[in-house]
Structure 1
Amino acid sequence: MNHKRAAADTGSALTDSGQRLVCIAIADPAAAADLSDQLGFFGFTTRIAAHWSDLPSVVDTTRTAVVILEAEALERDSKYATAMRDLKDSRPESVFLIYISSSDSFELRLISVRSGGDAFLLRPLEIARLIDKIDSLMGSQDREPYHVLVVNDNPDEVSNYAHILQSDDMITSVVSDPRHLFPVLIEAKPELILIDMHMAGWNGIELTRLIRQQETFIGVPIIFVSSEKDIEKRLEAIGYGGDDFVSKPVVPRYLNALLRLRAARTRHMRFFMERDSLTGLLNHSNLREKLGAELKRAERIGNSLCFCMIDIDHFKSVNDTYGHLTGDRVLKSLARLLHDRLRKTDVVGRYGGEEFGVALFDTGLQQAEKIMNEIRDSFSQIRQQFQGKEFYVSLSCGIGSYPEYRTVGDLIEAADRALYEAKERGRNRVTVA
C-alpha cells in the first residue's frame, strides 16, 4: 500500500516515498491494517507480512526499511528470535527493527536487543512517537549531501577535490574566477568554502576578507588549501576569518573528515537559526523571506506560484480540552504531514500559533487546491491521542496565486482572505482567492 503520490513533471507537489519503507509484522490483521493506514497518511510506503516468516520476501533488498514486530513473540518462539536476528545481521545498515510490546519488562527488552532490536516501544502505540523513532533510525539515510564551494583557478586541483568530495557523498560548486564569487555564494548557499591560498591575481586572504564583510556569510566556515609552511602567514589568514588549513598535497581521508565535521556544524546552526523550535519548519521571518525568493524566481522564469495559508480548526478547544502538550503534538503532526507529503523544493513554515504557510512553485491554482485537499483529508484521519483517548482534528486552508497577486504582502493577504472564507463556510475545507 502506497499512500504517497508520485510528483509528476506537471508540477504536482506531492512527493514519492523514495526510501521510506515500513514493513509491519504483527499478529492482528486489523491492527496491522490500521497502523499501515496511519503511517500512510504521513507518506510512508507500507507492506504487511501475514507472518514473520514472510519478512525476507517483504523487505525490499534495494531499499532501507524499518520493520515493526511484536516483542512478546520472542518469548514464545525461539525460531522467531533467530530469524529476526539473522534479518538484522544480513543488512545492519539498512534494516531497522522496532519491537512493540504491552509489557515493559527488563527481560523482554533484553531479548529484543539480542534479537536485533533497534528500538522498543510500548502499547498503546502513539503514531507521533513511532514516526519520531523511524525518523531517528532512518535519519542518516535521508540526509541531504553537504554542499561545498571550491574557490580555485587550477582545473586539475578542482577536479581532484570534486572527485574526493563526491566519493564521500558531498556535492561541489566551483568558482575559478573570484569575480563570480558572490553570485555563486548566493545561489548555492554552501555549508563550507574551500579556498586556495594562492591564485593568479588573487589570494585567499583577500577573498576571505571580502566574504566576511557580508553578514549573510559570516557563519560559513572557510578552509584554506595551501602549501604555505610559514606559521605567521597561516595565523594571518586565520586572523582574517579563516577557520582551518589543509596542507598540499591533500590527504583525501583527512579532507573529507574535516569538511564533513565543519559542514555538519554549519547545517546544525542554520537549522536552529531558521527553524521553529517546536515543529522544525521554517519560522515566520524565514518563511516570508523564502516566499519572496520564490516569487522573484517565478517572475524571472515566468512560472506559476501558489501560497497556501493553513489553520487548524478549533485549536483553542484542543488546548482547553486536552492541554497544551497535546496541542503541541497536534501541531507537530501537521508539520510532519506537510514535510513528508510535499516536495523538498516547496517552502513550508509555521506562520504563527496554529497557522502554517506553504509556497508551491511551478504549481497552478487548480493543482494547489487539489494538493491541499488531499493533505486536508489525510490530516482529518490522523488519530490524535490523549491519555488513551482518541480524537480527530481538521484544518482549513486559503490559497493565493501568482501572477494574480504579485507581491509577498498581496499574496499572503489573498491567502488569508481565502482562509477566512473557508472558516466562515464551516471549516475543514480549502478555498481559493
Structure 2
Amino acid sequence: MQVPKAAEDADPATRAETPPQAYWRRWSEDAPSAQASEDKPSSGEAPVVAAADAPANDSVTLPPLGTGDEPPYRVLIVEDDRAQAMFAESVLNGAGIEAVVAGDSRDVMDTMQRIKPDLVLMDLHMPGMSGAELTTMIRAHESFLHTPIVFLTGDPDPEMQYQVLEIGADDFLQKPIRPRHLIAAIESRVKRARSLGKQRMTEASRHPATGLMARPVLLQALSSALPSPAGGVYFIEIEGTSTLRERFGYAALERLMTEAGRRLGELAGAHPATRLNDHSFLVYTPGLEDLGLDRQARVWRDGISQHAFEIDGHTIRLRAIVGYAALRHGFNDAGSALEAAESASRQARTQSIGIASYEPPEPGQTSDLSEYLRDALADDRFELIYQPIVAVAGGDEAQYQTLLRMQANDGTMHNAAEIVPAAEQAGMIHDIDRWVLERALVVLQHRRAQSRPVRLFVPQSPRTLAREAYADWLASAIAVRGLEGPSLVVDIRLADALIHSVTLKAFCDSLVPVGVQFCLSQYEHSPDADSLLSQLPLGYIRLSARYAHADAGALRDAMRTSIDRAHRQGLQVIGHSVEDPQAAATLWMSGIDFIQGNLVQQAASELDFDFKNAVL
C-alpha cells in the first residue's frame, strides 16, 4: 500500500502522531531534513526521538545486532507512555535490536529476570515508581549490577541528571533525539558492557592457585546442559579436616586444601571442577556414560588418597569420599543435581570403599507422600504459627520466629520437624519453603500497612536457597511489597550451613544490599561452626536447645565460648527452647541478647505478644 505524502504546506515539525509498531521508516517518509529539524523549535511535549534520520526505504530488513555467535542486542524499554514506548521500540527493532517494553514500573524486575536485557532504556518520571527508585532497585541485584541503564527524558533539570548518575545510571539522553543518535548510544553501551562482561568472566572463571573453575561458572554450565541423558556430577569430600585444623591451624589447612584442589584439577583434566566449601569439591563430567561413572569416581578417590601431601613439614595422605549422581535421572536444575550428589556422599561415608551413587527413591516409596504434601499445599492445609523472641534488656521491638504446621486429613497437626524431612525426600522442599516465605512477606506487608512493623525469622533449606534466581525472586518480592529488608531474617540450620557454606555465602551476599539479615540456628561450638561466623554475613545466632540446660561443666563453658565469639563478631545471640526460669537465668548470666521458648510464650497463630511490657 502506498502511503500518501503530507500536503506541501504542512508544518512537519509539529507532527506528533506515533506510527504503528515496526513502521518507523514509512512513517518518516515526509519528515523534515536534519537541518530543518534543528532550525525549527518543537512544540508540545518532546517526542521520544526525532524522525529526521529515519531512512525512507522500508524494504531493507536489518539483521539483529550482535557479533558472530553472540545473541542480538536486547533492550528493555521502561516507559509508561504507550505511544512513546511503541515509537522507541519500532526504532530499535528497525535497527536490528530486540526491544521489550515494560509499561508498568512494578513489572520491571520480573521482566529483567525473564529476558536478561543488555541495556535498560528508561523514562525518568513515571507513576508509582520513579526512574531513580528503579535504578536503585536494579543495582541492588548482583546479576544486574553491571547492566547499562540509560535515561531518555525531556526533563532539562541538570540536578536531576546528576542525581540519577550518582545512584548508578550510565547515561542521560535528552528528548527529542534522532534515531541514529539513540541507536549509536545504545550500540556503544551494549558493546562495552559485553566486552567488560567477558573480561570479568575470564578473570573470575578460574581460581588463581588451583586452576579450578569458579563455582558460579561451573553451576551455570551445568544448568545450561540440563536436563541431560548422559554425564554425571561428583561430590568429593575430604575427611578429617576438623582434626587437621585443630592440629595445624586454619591457615595450614587452607594451604593443604589448595593443594588438594590443585591435585583434583590435574585428575579432572578437561572436566569442569570447583571447590564447594572448606573440605569438599564438585566435578561435572558432561557426556560420560553410566559405565564410566563409577570408574571415574575411583579415579578421583585414588588420585587424592594415594597422593602425598605436605603440611608444615609433615607428609600426610587424605581420604576422599565420593558421591555421584548420573544426570540421566532427569535433574532440571543444578541445585537438584548437586543435592543428589551430596546425598550420595553422605551414604559413601558409611561405605568401606568410600564411594556411593545416587539412586532415586522407588516410586512407591514417595508417591503417596508427594501427593499428600501437594494436596496439603493445594488445599491450604499448611499454616504458620509464631513464637516471640524477646530482648533480655527490654524493648518494644516485635520479632517472632515462624514455625510451620500442617493439618492431616484426620485433623492431626504435624510440625516442621516431621514436614521438612518428608518434603526433602519427596522433592518438595523448594515448594514448601517458597510458600512459607511468601506467607511471611504477606504478614510483613500487612503489619507495615498498619504501622505495626515486625521482624520475622523464617527458616529456609539451603537446597532451596541454592536454586537459580531464588535470591533475585526474593529481592524483587521485597521491593514490590515496599518492605524494609531488615524486617526479614532468613534462618539456616548449622548442620546445613556446614555442608552448603559456599552456596549460602553466595545467596547471602546477593541479598545483603537489600538489607535481608541471616541467622544461624541450632548453633553449637566447634571449629567448623566457629569458622562460619566470619564466612557468612550473619546478624544472629540461635543457640542449640542443649545449651538451655547447660547449668555446669563443659557444656556451659562451650556455651559461653560460643556467646563470646559471636559477640566479638558483632552478632546477637538468641537463647532457644527456654522452658523454665532456671534455664533463663543460666542463659541470661552467660550474656545472651534474646530469649525464646515456652517460658516466654508458646507459639501461636496470632502476633499479639506484648513486647513493651514483657518481664523476664
How high is the TM-score relative to the length of structure 2?
0.30
Structure label with greater radius of gyration: 2
* TM-score, structure 1 as length reference: 0.40
Higher relative CO (CA 8 A, sep ≥ 6), structure 1 or 2? 1
Task: Kindly indicate which of the two structures has a greater share of residues assigned to strand.
Answer: 1
